[in-house]
Amino acid sequence: MSSDTQQTAHKQSFFVKGMTCVTCVKHVERAIKKVDGISFVSVNLATESGFALSNQEIPFDELKKAVSNAGYEITDSVAPDAMQKRFQEAGRNLILSWAVTIPLMVMMFLHMSGRHVPAFEYVEPLIAALVIFYTGRHTIKGAWIALIHWHFNMDTLIFLGSVTAFATTLLALVGLKIASFGSIGAMIVAIHLTGRYIESWLRDRAAKDVKALMQLQATEARVKSEDGWVMVPIEAVKLDSLVRVYPSERIPLDGEVVEGASSVDESMITGEYMPLQKQTGSPVTGGSLNLNAPITIRVTGTGEDLFLSQLISMVQDAQGTKVPIQALADRITLWFVPAVLLLAISAGLIWFFRYDALRPMLTSFEKAIPWVNANADALSHSLFVFVATLVIACPCALGLAIPMALIGASSLSAKKGLIIRNGEAIQTAGEIGAVILDKTGTLTVGKPSVVESSVPDELLPAIAQLETQSAHPLAKSLVEYAKEKGLHRQVVIDEVLETAGSGIGGKWEGKDLFVGKPTSLEPYRLWAEKGYSIVEARVNGDPLGAFAITDPIREDTVEGIAALKAFGLKIVLATGDHEEAAKRVCAETGIRDYRSQMKPSEKLTLIHESRHGKEKVLMVGDGLNDGPALKAADIGIAMGSGTDLAIDSADIVIVRGGIPQVVESIRISRMTFRIIKQNLLWAFLYNVIAIPAAMLGVLHPAIGEIAMAFSSITVILNSLRLKYHRD
């Protein structure tokens, strides 16, 4: 369930530049945690984003100073073209590195085959220096930042490996009898740049859903002023302002249509591709597209209160969340680079001092592996092993295994109308044994309506007019019923008086009209047995009929309950409504177990009672009274139409849809955890095989670097299976 830190009042989102692997992430997180007041911090390597929770307002400059002291750069926003500029620079470096490395490789192979290339001993260090120290300058910078702050990262391994290879060229140039590996150093950097470029491109594709949402945010709105309609920045628009939106323009802010009618495309937000008809009184969402006619809206939401802003925030938080299994991966990767460095040094020293004893093994390998040279000297081979071990063992795949899976999960869930806010829910979903469901707004539409009536039509205009002055939840359903029958019109009602728990009355055409609680349920026994709410109409004290009102079951509820049953889950309806209403819902949906007239404290007790052994409990609700139960459950799912407390207390939010989305959330969570385990298995297995091979001297550094890049790319591609999953 959600940790206590999620209740912290203040949250700051940010972006971090310069991170290359999970050790960088841990270093940044440690630096931010040292800031007074910070209670929780999460940084995502895949999106280069993060957020910090605190129990007080913390100036952004304090976070900036802490991260800067750690050697990295933090910003509160990213320029729209920043990623494109970075890709362009990376592309130029990549092209240049291969443009000079490929000819160098050709010359190296010719030189090795006995065809001496004139001045090769001078050309090799020049080209290798250009590739390693110019095109690979960002790698050197990353390694230097890590080293001066007393930690190691992926760049450290590449830097040490390539520079060691380059050093052999200089040593050979001054006359030392040692094999020159300068060309290998250039190849290592060129392959590394290629892998990082592909990796960044794939990561950018995986995160493009959030960027697409951000692009929906308008920067200006056409606001009505004393001088007419003027374009003003979004930040300057106030609540209740009138905003004009023309066809083919995006609606800039949340609002309500006050003039005009049009079709609106909300597909990027809701996933529903059929345009919705909007007319006077219809709500509209900022970011949606006005299609065919001008409309005027009254602004009802600005800034962080906008639906789109909240959606973007929730998706970003979901991508930055962590699962319990990540603690294991983090502990391993924290010591991974120092351990690899130690292994590389140890392997190099062993080969140097025990070369003659180990040489027969090289002779046997030489017959099957073309790059193994049993005739090399001890120093040359020990350096070869040192470089190979450094570049083959990279924590990138381990660091990306979980964040990339979470990005894929958040993208898929967003398409399904879900936001997974808490990563722990992903790991817990496979252990769910019971599902507790609220009724109103969860299984039902959450909007009472008249299903049967025995009231004469001639009374409906007066009843509707009377009910417009009532604050009772059922009053609106009577008004809507009259509108549906075309009988809602202005009627004079005097001396209106509403009595709590009884009803509302007034004078109509000289008669006493009263609408409310029946004097007796006997005439409406069949309705009562069905769990309907009954509202009676009386004129001068005489009953003239009644309305049967109910909150209809959502169209997709029965399908969703059947799917939950197929998972083998125990399903319990927990409602604060009366028993007859609970029975009706159970009869219509196929739920066997229910609890009625439940208080919030009783729902909490039910959650604790529903736990059996290792089985977890999932709670679904949308009301203010569901907040504590959602918080207490192992997984809390809130309907997006519910209250802020319910949403804030939930691990998963259903943006649109009903119970079938609960099924989707369980399915996506289980699938995501399966992908995470596959990613970690692949990353661990790759290193378990590759590191010993490099230490034995049978793995070429260039091939090791290719394999390292392939490992990271494989993890990303496996995670993208989630993003593009099809039912």
In three-state form (DSSP H/G/I as H, E/B as E, the rest C), the secondary structure along 59-74 is: CHHHHHHHHHHCCCEE
User: What's the rounded Cα separation, in Å, for the pair 675 and 656?
Assistant: 26
What is the distance between the terminal CA atoms of the chain, rounded to a whole angstrom? 28
Beta pairing partners, 262: 278
Contacts of 261 (CB under 8 A, 6+ apart): 277, 278, 279, 280, 293, 295
User: What is the distance between the alpha carbons of residues 336 and 318, in angstroms, rounded to a whole number?
Assistant: 27
Maximum pairwise Cα distance, the chain: 119
Which residue from 304, 301, 300, 323 is spatially nearest to 313, judged by alpha carbons? 304
Active site residue 76: no
How is 193-229 classified by DSSP, letter by letter?
HHHHHHHHHHHHHHTHHHHHHHHTS-SEEEEEETTEE
CA 681 to chain centre: 23
Q: Give the integer Cα–Cα distance in Å for 505 and 484.
A: 23
Say if CB 673 and CB 430 are below 8 A apart.
yes
Q: Which of 155, 209, 265, 438 is catalytic?
A: 438
Amino acid, single-letter form, for residue 306 = L
CA pair distance 289, 270, nearest whole angstrom: 12
Question: Taking Cα atoms as reference points, which of 203, 315, 325 lies closest to residue 673?
Answer: 325
Q: Alpha carbon of 62 to those of 27, 38, 57, 74, 118: distances in Å?
A: 16, 11, 11, 11, 58
Residue 713, amino acid: I
- Residues 577-583: contacts with CB within 8 Å, 24+ apart? 577/439, 577/440, 578/531, 580/528, 580/529, 580/530, 580/531, 581/439, 581/531, 581/533, 581/550, 582/439, 582/531, 583/531
Place of tokens 């029975």: 583
Say how many C-beta atoms besides its own lie within 10 A of residue 266's C-beta. Answer: 20
CA–CA dist 264, 249 (Å, integer): 10
Contacts of 500 (CB under 8 A, 6+ apart): none
Contact 649, 635 (CB under 8 A): no
697 Cβ contact partners less than 8 Å away, ≥ 6 residues apart:
351, 362, 365, 372, 381, 384, 385, 388
Question: Whole-angstrom Cα distance, residue 428 to residue 670?
Answer: 8
208 Cβ contact partners less than 8 Å away, ≥ 6 residues apart = none
- 3-class secondary structure, 24: helix
What are the φ/ψ torsions at residue 64 (nearest 5 degrees)? Answer: -60, -45
Region for 107 from its dihedrals, namely left if φ exceeds 0, alpha if ψ lies in -120 to 50, beta otherwise:
alpha
Residue 342 token pair: 């130690």
- Round to whole Å and give the CA distance between 131 and 169: 14
> Which are the catalytic amino acids?
438
